Structure formats: C-alpha cells, structure tokens
Amino acid sequence: MTWFIALSWALSLVLLLLSVRWGVTYWRQQVSPKLVVQAEQNLAELLIFMPAQQLVTGVLVGILLLTALLSLWMSVLTASLTGVLLLLVTPLIYRQIRAKRTYKIKHQLPSFLLQLSVALQSGLSLSAALTQLAKQQPAPLGAELRLMVRRQHVGSNLLAAAKDFAERVPLLSVRQFALVIELSDMHGAGQARVMAQLAHSLQQQLYARERMLSLSAQARLQGYVMGFLPLLLFAVLHWLEPENTGQLLYTEMGQIILILAACLLLCGALIVKRMLGQELNHDA
C-alpha cells in the first residue's frame, strides 16, 4: 500500500512538472511574442520607440525599489501589497496618459487643417505645407507631424506616414485626414477645399461633444466629490484625533485595511466614470 501511495505521488509530481514545462514553453512561443508586439505598439502610440522588455524591466525594478523603501516604514506584507497595487495601477496610468494625448490631438487637428488649407491655397505643395506647419504646431500633434516629415526625409512617402499616424492615434478624425491625403495622392486636386471642409466638420463635432460634456458637468462633479470625500474625511479625523487614525497608519492590520479601502475607492471611481458615459472620451 505504501509503495502504491509513493508511486501515485511520483506520477503526480512528474505530471505537474511536465505541465509546468509545457505551460512555460507555450508562453514563450505563443503568448509572449504577441504580448511584446502589442506592448511595443502601445508604446509607439506615445512615440516611445524602445523594446518592451526594457520598459517592463525598468517598471519592475522601480516598483521593487519603492517596495523596499516602503518596507523600512511599514511591514513587509503591507509593502508587498502596495507594490502589487502599483503594478496593477500602471496600465491605468498608461491609459490615462494615452487618453489625454488623444484628447489634445483631437482638439488641435481642426485648427491645423485650416492652416493647412490656407497654405495649400497660397500655392504650396502638400509636403512643403506639412514641413512648414509641423514646426509651428504644439505637442502632441506637432510631434506626430514632425515624425511624418522626418519619414519623408528618409525616403518614405507621405501616404505611408499618414497611415502610420492613423494607426498610432485611434481617432476617426485622424483616419479621415489620412484618407484625404490618400485621395489627394490618387487624384491631386481640390486638396485645400477638402481640408477646409474636414476642418469645419471636425469643429462642429467638437462643439457637439463639448456641449454634451457641459450638460453632464454636474453629474461628473458629484462623482469627483464622492471620490475625494473619504480622503478629506480621513485627513480631518487624523487632524482631530491622531491617536485613533494612528492605528490605521502604523499597524499592519490598519495598513492592510487602508490598501483595501484604496482598491475599493479606485473600483468605485472607475464604475462611476463608466456610468457617466466614458464613450464621450473616444471616437467611434
């Protein structure tokens, strides 16, 4: 009976090791390359052209160093939970940076198209007008346009650069801009008129969107108030009765409770943000 139990444990261990080996092999050959490609595409949207492994390594080293510093002030368990929370929040930070960058480009594009239309009407070619206007545009749209100009200088055509711009910035207005460049490359007439019409259309869309945001401003303000109210209340209680809040700040169980409360507060903020109409921040 004993040898049968030992043989069962040995077979189970062998199967477990084989499963782990197969899982690691499948991850390296199938999943990991796809994740690397997706991560590098996400970085390219922010004009960060670097290997994804270097960025991930830098982020992990930074989180580990911060966790080690926090362990000097709080317990190891609490510092580890904080490090895990920072690791989970990192993609949210990236999405917020990407959303702000997209928002700025969407608001800068109509005025740039009007300037481009005027430059084309004055007799400049499309490439010359882009080269001249790219130097005058602020970031982040200016950085994208200057990248298009540099790609032309190294031998790429304008159409390919515009398509790459549309892939990096997932906006309908940018795709329309790339389509106008493609049509002008095929037919070569009416560029100034089409650019002006596109600029006026985008301005009307932005006006309608801003009006919708103004109508929902009160609801969004209530969401912000409900999100910051617990933090303000905790600060007031810590100022009035620091000995009571000290049990949350300086004990291991209290620090774990604060981390859980921060996670719940973050989840609540994300739910409220989606309920208020997150689709307003993105193009269809």
Nearest-Å Rg of the Cα atoms of the chain is 27
How far is it, in rounded angstroms, from Cα 70 to Cα 74? 6
Domain-embedded: residue 58: no
pLDDT digits (tens, 9 = 90+) for 141-175: 888 898 888 888 888 888 888 888 888 888 899 99
Question: Which CA distances in Å does 147 have to 22, 64, 158, 160?
Answer: 43, 35, 11, 12
Domain-embedded: residue 182: yes
Q: Are 149 and 131 in contact (CB under 8 A)?
A: yes
pLDDT digits (tens, 9 = 90+) for 47-61: 665 566 676 777 778
- Where is the domain boundary, 171, 206, 241? 206
How would you classify residue 47: left for phi > 0, otherwise alpha for psi between -120 and 50, otherwise beta? Answer: left
Considering the domain architecture, whether residues 221 and 192 belong to the same structural domain is answered as no
Q: Is the pLDDT of residue 36 over 70?
A: no
Q: Are 227 and 265 in contact (CB under 8 A)?
A: yes
Average the pLDDT over 89-106 and give the result. Answer: 85
Instruction: Tell me whether residue 148 is exposed, middle or buried, using C-beta atoms within 10 angstroms of its C-beta: 0 to 12, 13 to 18, 19 or more.
Output: buried
Q: Which two tokens stand for residue 235?
A: 């600060």
DSSP 8-state class, residue 74: S
Helix, strand, coil percent content, the chain, rounded in steps of 5: 85, 0, 15
Domain-embedded: residue 54: no
User: Amino acid letter at 228?
Assistant: F
pLDDT band at 43 (very low <50, low <70, confident <90, very high): low
Considering the domain architecture, whether residues 186 and 271 belong to the same structural domain is answered as no
SS3 228: helix
Considering the domain architecture, whether residues 272 and 232 belong to the same structural domain is answered as yes
Average the pLDDT over 213-222 and give the result. Answer: 77
Q: Which of 261, 253, 255 is nearest to 230 (CA)?
A: 261
Considering the domain architecture, whether residues 193 and 119 belong to the same structural domain is answered as yes
The per-residue DSSP string of 91-119 comes to: HHHHHHHHHHHHHHHHHHHHHHHHHHHHH
Tally the residues of the chain: 284
Q: What is the CATH number of the domain that holds 176?
A: 1.20.81
Domain span including residue 263: 210-282
Considering the domain architecture, whether residues 114 and 130 belong to the same structural domain is answered as yes
Confidence at residue 124, expressed as pLDDT on a 0 to 100 scale: 85
Considering the domain architecture, whether residues 150 and 219 belong to the same structural domain is answered as no
Domain-embedded: residue 59: no
Q: The tokens 């774990």 sit on which residue?
A: 256
- Where is the domain boundary, 161, 182, 206? 206
pLDDT digits (tens, 9 = 90+) for 65-77: 888 887 777 777 7
Considering the domain architecture, whether residues 222 and 201 belong to the same structural domain is answered as no
Report the domain count for the chain: 2
- Where is the domain boundary, 206, 236, 258? 206
